[in-house]
Amino acid sequence: MINPVGANKVKLGFFSFTEITANGDHRAYNEWHQLDHLPEQLPIPGIAHGQRWVCTPACAAVRAVAAGDLASTHYLTCYLMTEPLEETLTLFFDLADYLHEVGRFYKHRRSHLSGPLEVIETHAARRVDVSPEAVPYRPNRGIYAVVEEDPAGPPTVAAADLLGIDGVAGVWVFETTERVPAGRWTKGERRITLCYLDGDPLATSAAMPAALTSGAAYAGPLQTVRPWEWDWFDGEE
């Protein structure tokens, strides 16, 4: 199924590819983000949804591409935003400033890529029986994320062609466009493809076509973060 983007209330996806730095604690970070930070974003009128995924050691081991600073990614967060975009982004950053001021922001983290991209395509596999615009709200087991820097043309593999892969429930494509206002986020032109997975992320990753990752700066699976299940990095130094 494919639905015109004009029927979708979501216009932007705000991404953050985050590393927990050497002084950090993954359990403390996850407790802060899932029980404090994420819930505070959702009352903002223009925030339609927010979700975070983790690049576990097992996910990192099977990544097809992880170039430069993106190789340090532990987590990927995506907030879906609606009109009015400038007001939504202003409120989003005003809240971040306030949380910093009152000491409710996790210090031992670094974002290697962050910012809003416009929703360009939305697709849903026929078997899931939901519309394309509903895919992010449907429970998922993880995502397969592809980041392309300075894309010169259409994706090497069409998003719709990924729907036949076992475990892929839907695909959303985001791009830097003139519609995205300037702001305090990572500069550059990029395209991000999110495959929403209801199959095992590692198994689904193995079925992804090699051409999908051609020219990518990042390509690999991430697992859905579930409340109080934060032990992926326990024992690591």
Condensed to tens digits (0 to 9), the pLDDT of residues 182-198 reads: 777 888 899 999 999 99
84 pLDDT more than 90? yes
Q: 10-224 architecture in CATH?
A: 2-Layer Sandwich (3.30)
Exposure class string for 54-67: b at 16+ Cβ within 10 A, else e: bbbeebbeebbbbe
Write down the residue that tokens 């000491």 correspond to. Answer: 103
| DSSP label at residue 62 | T
**What pTM did the predictor assign?**
0.94
Average pLDDT, the chain: 94
What pLDDT sits at residue 186? 82
Half-sphere exposure of 217 (CA within 13 A, CB side): 18
Nearest-CA neighbor of 222 among 15, 23, 46?
A: 15
115 pLDDT more than 90? yes
